[in-house]
């Protein structure tokens, strides 16, 4: 079983067979999870790579984005998932250089349309655009892509810092026994005895395994309410079943672990 991040699927590796779980990819499978890891994913379903200065210091895009289709909050897809960020222009013909949030970039490479958002929540002005993806390919640890109507380097430079979204409906189908992280977040987790352990808050990837971060209501030593946390490796030896329809994961894990 596995669970993906960028594609957002993660492969749950069977530690009982290999001795050590395989590296969790960006897709998660149905059934028992088999991958475990630590390293908080950013944006829920994706493992965020180290931030880059060019993205952090990007200036607002103006003017040249007229070649893109302007979008509003109302026209934004309800299932949009953030999969990367524009860190630079690539070449002279308007290509964008993207830092993907997941090790697997298939969602970026396969989606027909990219959705671009500049500005953070709470800021006075947030720019939303979308464009048809003409071409895209892996370039080192990044993805470079060409969008319809964007054919000038200066226009591409003005989009630095924009976050790139893809509709969940355009994600490639995960392989058997694989699941997208975005589909696992929010699921209830219980053990085989029926004891409720909490809900999946997010997943962690340490480069070797994936781990479910499960949170639950608890109290501290003074009786004040706090949020407890359990870290459960997403590997077949612990994850016994994943039922996306029932929004439930069953694990071999005791409440006092």
101 pLDDT more than 60? yes
Residue 13: CA count within 13 A, CB half-sphere: 18
Phi then psi for 238, rounded to 5 degrees?
-110, -40
Whole-number Å distance between alpha carbons of 70 and 249: 40
pLDDT score, position 104: 78
Q: How far is CA 211 from the centre of its chain?
A: 14
pLDDT (tens digit per residue) in 3-57: 665 444 554 544 333 332 223 333 434 333 333 333 333 333 333 333 333 333 3
Query: Tens digits of per-residue pLDDT, 182-222?
Result: 999 999 999 999 999 999 999 998 777 789 999 999 999 99
Residues 160, 54: contact at Cβ < 8 Å?
Answer: yes
pLDDT at 94 over 50: yes
Q: What's the average model confidence in pLDDT over 175-181?
A: 86
Q: Which of 197, 191, 98, 101 is nearest to 143 (CA)?
A: 98
Which residues 6+ apart lie within 8 Å of 175 measured at CB? Answer: 2, 9, 27, 29
Q: What percent of the chain has pLDDT over 90?
A: 60
Tell me whether domains 2-46+176-251 and 53-169 share a fold.
no
- What fold, for 53-169? Elongation Factor Tu (Ef-tu); domain 3 (2.40.30)
Tell me which CATH code domain 2-46+176-251 carries. 2.30.30.240
Q: Where are the domains of the chain?
A: 2-46+176-251, 53-169
């Amino acid at each position: 079983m596995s669970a993906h991040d960028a594609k957002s699927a993660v492969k749950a590796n069977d530690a009982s067979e290999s001795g050590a779980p395989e590296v969790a990819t960006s897709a998660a499978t149905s059934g028992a999870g088999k991958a475990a890891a630590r390293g908080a994913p950013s944006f829920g379903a994706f493992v965020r790579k180290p931030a880059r200065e060019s993205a952090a210091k990007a200036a607002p895009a103006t003017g040249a984005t007229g070649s893109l289709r302007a979008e509003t909050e109302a026209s934004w897809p309800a299932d949009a998932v953030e999969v990367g960020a524009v860190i630079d222009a690539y070449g002279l013909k308007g290509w964008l250089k993207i830092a993907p949030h997941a090790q697997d970039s298939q969602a970026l490479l396969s989606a027909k349309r990219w959705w671009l958002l500049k500005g953070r929540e709470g800021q006075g002005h947030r720019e939303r655009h979308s464009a048809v993806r003409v071409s895209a390919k892996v370039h080192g640890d990044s993805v470079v892509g060409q969008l319809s109507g964007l054919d000038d380097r200066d226009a591409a430079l003005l989009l630095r810092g924009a976050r790139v979204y893809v509709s969940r409906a355009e994600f490639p189908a995960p392989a058997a026994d694989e699941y997208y992280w975005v589909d696992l977040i929010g699921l209830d987790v219980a053990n085989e005895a029926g004891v409720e352990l909490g809900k999946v808050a997010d997943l962690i990837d340490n480069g070797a395994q994936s781990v479910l971060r499960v949170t639950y209501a608890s109290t501290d030593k003074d009786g004040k309410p706090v949020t407890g946390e359990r870290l459960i490796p997403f590997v077949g030896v612990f994850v016994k079943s994943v039922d996306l329809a029932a929004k439930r994961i069953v694990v071999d894990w005791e409440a006092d672990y």
